[in-house]
Structure 1
Amino acid sequence: MLSLDLNASPLHIAYAQVDKKGNLNSFGEITLSEIINKDRNQIKQILWEKAHQIIELAKEKGKAIAIEKLNRVNKGQRGDGKGKLRKRLHHWIYKGLTDKIKALARREGIEVAEVAPAYTSVIGELKYCPIYNITKDIAGAYVIGRRALGLKEKIPKNYKEILQDKEFLTYSLERLKDMYEEIKARYDKETNKYKRKAIKRELLSIRKWSILISQSLKSEPERVLEPLEGTSFGTHYHLWQVLKVALVISLLGKLFIRDFSLLRRVVISKDWKGVASQVSSLSAWAGVQSVVNQRFGIF
């Protein structure tokens, strides 16, 4: 199976070659940066070229193709405080590219499987990025391929166990509270009304995530792994959502992140305290560098 994960930021196609047993055999990326600042006809031509490149790769590997079934991509709206991201998404034509891939695949007799997109990125970044040291986009492509083969994604044993660790959940909740206060201070200082809207959405998200962790913390240990009252998640996806909040947002301290290598210590040895210490050290070093740069004019 040649599985594809199409991404707008950065603009590229991540692909993974997955064998029948669900193993990752090879992977790579195809850039789409050429479509930036091109007119509609030029973009169309470039997308056809990329579609041909993908079909040739599938023929070379002798594989069917797997993609996500997405009807539309949210490109944001004016005044949302995310002008740079909207500009990039403006160039992103997901359906235009997938339609071309499917058209060429039919012509060549190559099967195209479309799978549900739910949590492919989250599962990829938490489960496979740390283990294989691959990018989140390639990991997402890998999950898409496994899903197309009908394989289920089990949550790693050590991940399940830390979800029942009250000390870890308490730490996660405190980290979210600290993050909320930091972002709230930034919100109070911001004068641009559009940027304030974007920051406010971050605050609302952190409040929602805090409720998620609080509910897990109040549950009995054996019930943390069951659906929580008041959530819209099924058991399986709910757990991945809690893990995303606890491991990435709380433990790593990032709203958006591309490097998940630190989580290797958690998935292999459950050493979340070691990761917390390392993150703290890295943050302190970044702060020192910032002060030095400002003082001596280093940019």
Structure 2
Amino acid sequence: MITLKSLLEFQNEEDRQRVLDLMRRFSSAERYGYRRLLEGHERNGLKSHLAHVFQINTRYADDAILKAQSILKSCRERGQSPSKVVFGSRNLFEKLKKKHLNGSRREELKREWRERRQGNLYSRGDRSKRGNLNLRFVWLEGELYLRICVGERRWVWAKVIRPVKREKDKWIGFIWSLRQAEKTGEWFPYDVELKLKDGEVYALVSVKEKFPPATITLENGVLGIDVNAYPFHLALAEVSPDGNLLGYERISLHELLSASHDKREYLCWQVAYQVVNLALEKGKAIAMEDLEKLPKGRREDGLPKLRKKLQRWIYKSLLEKIEILAKRHGVEVAKKDPSYTSVIGKLKYAPQYLVDKDVAGALVIGRRALGFEEKLPESYRLLLKDEEFLLYSTAQLEEKVKELKRELRKEENEWRKRAIKKRLSAVRSELKTLQRHLRTLQSGESEPASRHPANRGKEPVRGSLSGLRKSWRVLSAALTVPLLEKFPQVKGTVRDFSPLRLILVSGDWERAVGRSVPVPGAGAAVQRCG
């Protein structure tokens, strides 16, 4: 979707006040609908109620509910409490609460607060309604107007003021499409949103962008992308058509954390151009995670610094920008289910190529986009049957649980206690996974499958895990604490997976466990993309 902004000029003050009154009622309906959604009300029943209470047509009412639903979904994705949403900007709300503000500065903030809180109107596009029913662009005497429905069979016409800013301004394409639709009758849907700012009413029109046919396809191989929060960066893996790693690159995103909203948007576009230019240079399609929701922490989890970083982690917006730019340049984009890509990457490909887990995860995403299935290496398959190793790993996890309990008893700081409790819960979960697998092995029941078709759809796998994914989960539990945490390269985070190479090559876990230092030479086996 592309969004274009234009200024509205009303024929008289009466028309302007009618529209402002409609925007105020719509904004109230949106806030009211949001609260009812939190209470569990259904959209269909709520629509007619909002139309009656706020004296707007049912389509406006339905659009107000859609806006409320999008805010609710966004809030939950960010891990924030939906009940604490502030309409009109929390930042302005907090400033207005300060007692020392007075005079012109306070009045300016109150005006801006009212505009953001009450100056909104939205109407979704509809092809069957000549593009948009309530907010429709029309031509009158050769000039473009926005026809605004303000009541039953009542409209206000506002002149659209929008100069062309540059040669490739997308407004030119939108105007041409409107002209063509007027001539042929083949209309296209466009969403329109009115916003009040500094006393002026602006129209923001959003239309689906038309992309050229892809000239760089998956047949040429892919550039796999993995977004990571710790450290905050993009990991890029260049994957050949036969699924091998050709090179890798990392792009730091730390500058985004301290930037304002507008600067973050600018920097995200810069990163997107960097990724797409690399894909064009290498002649590779792009493979990325199909991320719908990602936990961003919650209050009282004992990890305030990490939570603050995750709250500003605009991964979805960044991936969308990369996807849009890639399609504009004829680069095919494949979005794949990210389930278990990190686990498979760190256990299988990180020690194999001597790269970190983020690059390995990007490699798995790229291979999944090319249609490859991930086999369980023979040494790992045998390891899952090795009762002696499983008993050793179980004992190590039990010792880790005791260690965390001792640390919890000694810790007096309540916030640090919560962080330790979270880690303790994760280790206990790994221990249960390993014990369950060990009981299955000792009872002689069926073993986890070593092969299972990869999920080629975009939707996450639901229900019970497949046999192969259970195997990867057991391996992660059996190897992470008992082996890899002996050599952490970053405090609290395992980054070096080279000790697993000995197990992958020879299956000698006893020798790997006995090492006092990591396998030398990690991180230099593959040439970088750049």
Return the TM-score normalized by structure 2.
Answer: 0.51
Deviation at 1:99, TM superposition (A): 1.0
**Alignment-mate amino acid for residue 14 of structure 1:** A
In structure 2, distance between residues paired with 1:34 and 1:212? 39
Q: Aligned match of 1:266 in 492, 503, 510?
A: 503
Matched, 1:170 2:170: no
CA RMSD of aligned residues (A): 1.8
Deviation at 1:135, TM superposition (A): 1.1
Q: Is the 8 A contact 2:346 2:360 kept in 1?
A: yes
Aligned to 2:477: 245
More helix by share: 1
More deviation in 163-172 or 73-82?
73-82
1:175-204 per-position Cα deviation (integer Å, ceiling 9, x unaligned): 011101100000111122222222112222
Deviation at 1:81, TM superposition (A): 0.5
In structure 2, distance between residues paired with 1:39 and 1:238? 42
1:84-130 per-position Cα deviation (integer Å, ceiling 9, x unaligned): 21122133101110111111112111111000010000000000111
The aligned runs of 1:149-228 (5 Å cut-off) are 149-220=370-441, 223=445, 225-226=447-448
Q: Is the 8 A contact 2:484 2:496 kept in 1?
A: no
Q: Secondary structure at the match of 2:485?
A: coil
Cα 1:239–1:224 shift into 2, 3 Å: farther
Aligned to 1:99: 320
Aligned to 2:125: none
Deviation at 1:38, TM superposition (A): 0.8
Q: Secondary structure at the match of 1:29?
A: strand
Aligned pair count reads: 278
Aligned to 2:86: none
Deviation at 1:256, TM superposition (A): 3.2
More deviation in 42-51 or 5-14?
5-14
Q: Is the 8 A contact 1:163 1:224 kept in 2?
A: no
Deviation at 1:205, TM superposition (A): 2.1
Q: Is the 8 A contact 1:72 1:94 kept in 2?
A: no
Q: Is the 8 A contact 2:303 2:419 kept in 1?
A: yes
Cα 1:259–1:223 shift into 2, 3 Å: farther
Q: Secondary structure at the match of 1:118?
A: coil
**Alignment-mate amino acid for residue 151 of structure 1:** F
In structure 2, distance between residues paired with 1:92 and 1:50? 14
Unpaired runs of at least 5, structure 2: 1-221, 450-462, 487-491, 519-530
Q: Is the 8 A contact 1:4 1:15 kept in 2?
A: yes
Aligned to 1:138: 359
Q: Which has the larger radius of gyration?
A: 2
Q: Is the 8 A contact 2:485 2:494 kept in 1?
A: no
Aligned to 2:252: 31
Q: Secondary structure at the match of 1:154?
A: coil
**Alignment-mate amino acid for residue 271 of structure 1:** D
Q: Is the 8 A contact 1:81 1:198 kept in 2?
A: yes
Q: Which has the higher contact order (CA 8 A, sep 6+)?
A: 1
In structure 2, distance between residues paired with 1:147 and 1:267? 21
1:41-90 per-position Cα deviation (integer Å, ceiling 9, x unaligned): 00100000000111111111111100000013211122110112112213
